[in-house]
Structure 1
Amino acid sequence: MAAWVSVSDWSGVGSPLSGSVNFVGAANYAELVSGGLATRDFGIALRNNVWYVLLVVPTQTFLSLFLAVLVNQRIMARGVFRTAFYFPSVTSSVAITVLWLFLFSASGAVNKILSHLGVTGPNWFHDPTGVVAALLGLFGIDGSRTLTGRFLGVTAWEWLSGPSFAMTAFIVMAVFTTSGTFMLIFLSALQSLSPSVDEAAMIDGAGTWTRFWRVTVPQLKPTFFTVITLGLIGCWQVFDQIYTGTQGDPGKTTLTPAYLSYQAAFSNQKWGRGSAIAFVLFAIIIALTLLQRWVLRDKDDVRARRAERRRRRQSRRRQRSSAQAVTAEGIMEGAGR
């Protein structure tokens, strides 16, 4: 149904399968890349979400692995630590978003802490400045006049200026609320590993870091694939924090494709465009999942499969050569008679 809506002119009134609804082909998709306000909004949403993914997925992955290794040690009250680390993951995202709005307000706890450190905190949810642009501005660097090339209606400087302070607050919140869940996944994987391999490496004289990096981490590749895949899906579908917190403000710097799809369909009654954005988002998630599956593939297993395919091809060639030789021999014997 959603696929049909994305290629039709359905206005949201009546059934999308009624005779009054016309097929418009890729027109709704073309609006996203052909220029104009729709293209710029889509480009801004992609820019925001790209920074969100680049900062959240690696951070939550390595932080959750660190927490899993930490609570996997024989320490006192490790059950309490596991519960404490996991608790934010089971708390309502709406409730945490409201809490975040208070913590990161202009007079909130975060700016109070920064003031004690001699730093003037920004007006987090009202400042559209990118974090990277703000840091470069401290050194007098401003690329807004030189990096003017555009992609999807967004200049190169806007792409490189980083997430806004508001989106940075959401990035911190995402890491805070999801690391506990992924910690449990890594913890389960760590506890399922056989200690014999680690003990053998220890006997060979490998240090703690070498054993972890060379022995433990390679065995966690399937877990990394699971965690990164779930992280990518969650980051590209971020919606409830934006809807509850900022609704794309300030200056559309917290606008995401998921929220833009909702806004186009339910607020602007552009149901075809909203569905098209959703399917583009789906394609992005599938492409990134396949990419990271290729990156995290087991190279030894790939080489073994290639060697097995070569062996089979060589075996088939030898069989064909043997069959041709037998046929030629039969022909020669027949000619001799």
Structure 2
Amino acid sequence: MRWLIAVWLMLLPVIIAAPAQADELRPGYLELAEIRAGEWSVGWKLPYTAPPADTPLPPVLPDNCAYSGALKIGTAAAAVLGSAQARCTGPVAGKTVSMPGLIGQADMLVRIAPLDAPAQALRLTAAKPDAQIARQPATVQVLQTYLVLGVEHILAGWDHLLFVIALVLLVQNGRTVIVAATAFTAAHSLTLAGAALGFVGLPGGPVEALIALSIIFLAAEILRSADDTAGTPTLTRRFPWIVAFLFGLLHGFGFAGALTSIGLPEGDIVAALLAFNVGVEAGQLLVIAVVLAGLAAIRAAASAALEPVVHIASYGIGMTGAYWLIDRVIA
């Protein structure tokens, strides 16, 4: 009975992940961009778990701004999407912007891009759905915002997360897993920075399909290693950090696609990239600690159940990767 409970605990992330958007940043997004002096473009995205019954309220603009013309508000891809034009008298620095309708764990990244000042990033939460636009953006603000985004992205980006979980299931050794995860982070940091800064790039569709394939590969390696315990360990098991580094280069392009969609603050691009990467690494280490603790608990409570638990979890991870691969190839 204990090992059945353990199986379900190991499978729970996979069950949740299957219908989820694999590489979607959870926060909502609001951008105010000045297109001409005093004229602003407003766009927002607010993810939801259930379609809203009524038309959601638009963002509350600074008190020296007002919407001009019709607001376009609709739904698509499990999110409320809105766009509008606004006119502002004078600068928005020092003013407050807010978003009604944030509930629970929802949060929203706000990007303010005036013509005569550097763009800045703010973060709204359900507990504090308003924020003051800085007169002079501070680097510490950028570091805090993008650090949180990095943590949230690894925890909500299920394809990257399943890759890390599969890596832990393959190695099952704390020190080796941390080395491999650090190699993964170093690699995706290289391609993330290169892609975000415009030095390198790959089409998003093929990248997402190959990321799904990397998950299938690791799931197959776990099962292959388990079925061949008496033979020579596979190359992946002997040198997991090399495999993690190579696939990390690929995953970096996926991170770059998500980060590019929300933008980087002008003047603090390096700080934002650094904070985002540190957040991703922190999220990975948290996941590694949880999975290793789970494996240790199973090993202590019912050691005979460990192998079937890893087998079943690996099949679940592999099937999820296969589903994403097919979905991304035919999309």
Same fold (TM over 0.5): no
TM-score (norm 1): 0.30
TM-score (norm 2): 0.30
Between Structure 1 and Structure 2, whose CA radius of gyration is higher? 1
Structure richer in helix, relative to its length = 1
